[in-house]
């Protein structure tokens, strides 16, 4: 069974840049997996940041960007702010099913 992998935790300084990744336990992530990214704060529904690798959802600031880096999908946050401290999840579309990664807890300090 294919597992979608994410870093369990990451930290970034305010104003800094951080790249979170989304990989596969076996194989490489490509645009054909339509990687998407979601931000979730405690008690709230997820917010869609990026879909189809690099398309920002409506209202998402351009300091959030998506890409493919090597064999993984990536979410880059440029100029991190305190309210970016959240859990971040990626999803890969595998034909007829979607699979979530385990999530990355991002700390801004």
**Residue nearer to other proteins on the CB measure, 36 or 77:** 36
Q: Which residues in 18-47 contact other proteins (CB under 8 A)?
A: 34, 36, 38, 40, 45-47
Among 102, 106, 108, 109, binds other proteins (CB under 8 A): 102
Q: Which residue has the tokens 């999840």?
A: 89
Closest CA to 77 of 12, 10, 18: 18
Closest CA to 18 of 91, 102, 106: 106
Take residue 101 and report the two structure tokens written for it.
């990664």
76 is a site residue for other proteins (CB under 8 A): no
10 is a site residue for other proteins (CB under 8 A): no
Q: Which residues in 54-73 contact other proteins (CB under 8 A)?
A: 57
92, with CB counted inside 10 A (0-12, 13-18, 19+), is buried
What's the N-to-C CA distance of the chain in angstroms?
A: 36
- Contact string 82-101 vs other proteins (x = CB under 8 A): -------x-x-x--xxxxxx
Q: Which residues bind other proteins (CB under 8 A)?
A: 34, 36, 38, 40, 45-48, 51-52, 57, 89, 91, 93, 96-103
């Amino acid at each position: 069974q294919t597992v979608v992998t994410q870093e369990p935790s990451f930290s970034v300084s305010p104003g800094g840049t951080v790249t979170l990744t989304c990989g596969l336990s076996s194989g490489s992530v490509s645009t054909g997996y339509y990687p998407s990214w979601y931000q979730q704060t405690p008690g709230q529904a997820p917010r869609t940041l990026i879909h189809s690798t690099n398309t920002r959802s409506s209202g998402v600031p351009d300091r959030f960007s998506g890409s493919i880096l090597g064999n993984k999908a990536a979410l880059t946050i440029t100029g991190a702010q305190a309210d970016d401290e959240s859990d971040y999840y990626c999803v890969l579309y595998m034909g007829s099913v979607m699979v979530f990664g385990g999530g990355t807890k991002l700390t801004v300090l």
